Homo-oligomer: A and B are copies of this chain.
Amino acid sequence: MPAKRRKLTLDDYTQGVLAADIGILSRAITLVESQHPVHQALAQELLTRLLPHPGNSIRVGITGVPGAGKSTLIESLGCLLCDRGHRLAVLAVDPSSSVSGGSILGDKTRMENLVRHPHAFIRPSPSGGSLGGVARKSRETILLCEAAGFSIILVETVGVGQNEITVRSMVDFFLLIMLAGAGDELQGMKKGVIEIADLLAVNKADGDNLQRANLACAEYRRVLGLLQPATPGWKTRCTTCSALQPETLAALWQTIEKFVTTTRDSGAFATRREHQAITWMHAMIEEELHHRFFRNPRIQQLLPDLEQQVAKHHLPAATAARQLLLAAATP
């Protein structure tokens, strides 16, 4: 029987991940993604063992509207980093992928060169469930990848809905990929996304498009001057880049390295990670409390009518809330 088919013990997982065995890492991620209670318990034990190991990683969130060229940019930047000897994991957070069949990273052929690189590990978005569920799995996958020695984690997400805020809460640095043509592009973006970014990169800044990209970049810089930066002690910047011009990607990465140095020195880096971990714990508690309440059959029975009455201004919101809380508490 081939070794990879046998059931793995906690020790197998631990040693395999720490030894950067990609087959075992993949199975550990599958374990983390599983909804099965036994798998979840095992996954938590594994994470508890591995937690002290994640070292000097950099977690970078990348977002942008569809068509902004995220995948091509990640492929080019990823190859550049791997060629320099970095070990790179690329993950995706896309709750819609279970419905749409995977809009990002679903088709690994889009990152043909990177996927073949021995230093790279690419994992599509976990399927199924809410953003909260996908986010939990992705956070834990980050930890597994770090334990396996991947020192750069790129987390890609699509520029819709609540995704960016969630990804921002699990990364050190947040990169927003933009296109020239500015105004129209941004209209389609979720509110506040510029304000959670540490760097805006106007992509496809090459050929005929170069001048427009430079103009857009100047415009964004003006906007950034009016907004509060996402990270204390780091002024959010705007740059142009092109996957066709590796030197622009090298410069982009240099900015990220500068960010890491600056925030590690100031302590903002460590403070954010601590804060993220605690916030995440609280978010999971709130989510569970919410689910327990709203899965209660009595609540499910009462809710639609009460919501309707509140919406139609026939019942004060506080009264409806009390009725529901009382109904849930009654045995």
A277 interface residue, CB < 8 Å from B? yes
Least CB distance, A235 to chain B, in whole angstroms: 11
Residue of B nearest to A311 (CB): B274
CB contacts (< 8 Å) of A288 on chain B: these are: 321, 325
Complex contact A44–B318 (CB within 8 A): yes
- Whether A222 sits at the interface, judged by CB under 8 Å, is yes
> Which residues of B sit under 8 angstroms from A226, Cβ to Cβ?
182-183, 186, 194, 219-220, 223
Least Cβ–Cβ distance between A256 and chain B, in angstroms: 22
Q: Does A314 contact B (CB under 8 A)?
A: yes
Interface string of A283-319 (1 = CB under 8 A from B): 0111011100100000000000011001111111111
Copies of this chain: 2
The answer to whether A285 touches B183, judged by C-beta atoms less than 8 angstroms apart, is no
A280 contacts chain B at the CB level, 8 A cutoff: yes
Residues B140 and A318 in contact, CB atoms below 8 Å apart: yes
Interface flag for A264 (CB, 8 Å): no
Instruction: Give bound CA distance, A48 to B289, whole Å.
Output: 28
> Closest Cβ of chain B: how far from A64's Cβ, in Å?
15
A278 in contact with B183 given A191-B228, A322-B44, A325-B285 (CB within 8 Å): no
A51 interface contact, C-beta 8 A:
yes
Separation in Å of the A57 CB from the closest CB of chain B?
Answer: 12
Q: Choose one: B51, B52, B293; the contact of A289 (CB below 8 Å).
A: B293
Does A143 belong to the interface (CB within 8 Å)? Answer: yes
A139-B317 Cα distance, complex, nearest whole Å: 10
Q: Tell me the chain A residues, 55-71 only, with Cβ under 8 Å from chain B.
A: none
Residues of chain B lying within 8 A (CB to CB) of residue A306: 281
The DSSP consensus for interface residues of chain A is helix
* A186 partner, pick from B227, B278, B311, beta carbons under 8 A: B227
Residue of B nearest to A136 (CB): B318
Pairwise interchain contact B322-A310, C-beta atoms closer than 8 A: no
Q: Report A269 CB to chain B, min CB distance, Å.
A: 13
Q: A54 at interface (Cβ–Cβ under 8 A)? A: yes
**Shortest Cβ distance from A313 into B: residue:** B51
Q: When the two chains form their complex, are residues B54 and A277 in contact, meaning their CB atoms are under 8 A apart?
A: no
**Which chain B residues border A129 with CB–CB below 8 Å?**
none
**With A192-B192, A219-B226, A313-B52 given, is the CB distance from A307 to B321 under 8 Å?**
no
Contacts of A281 in B (CB 8 A): 306-307, 310, 317-318, 320-321
How distant is the Cα of A48 from the Cα of B317 in the complex, in angstroms? 10
Closest residue of chain B to A294 (Cβ to Cβ) is B285
Across the interface, do A140 and B316 meet the contact criterion of CB distance under 8 Å? yes
Closest Cβ of chain B: how far from A169's Cβ, in Å? 11
Chain A residues with CB under 8 Å of chain B are 44, 47-48, 51-52, 54, 136, 139-140, 143, 182-183, 186-187, 189-192, 194-196, 219-220, 222-223, 225-228, 273-275, 277-278, 280-282, 284-286, 288-290, 293, 306-307, 310-322, 324-325
Between-chain CB contacts (< 8 Å), 21 pairs: A44-B322, A51-B315, A140-B318, A183-B225, A186-B228, A190-B228, A191-B195, A273-B313, A277-B310, A277-B313, A277-B317, A278-B307, A278-B310, A278-B311, A280-B310, A284-B317, A285-B293, A285-B321, A286-B289, A288-B321, A289-B290
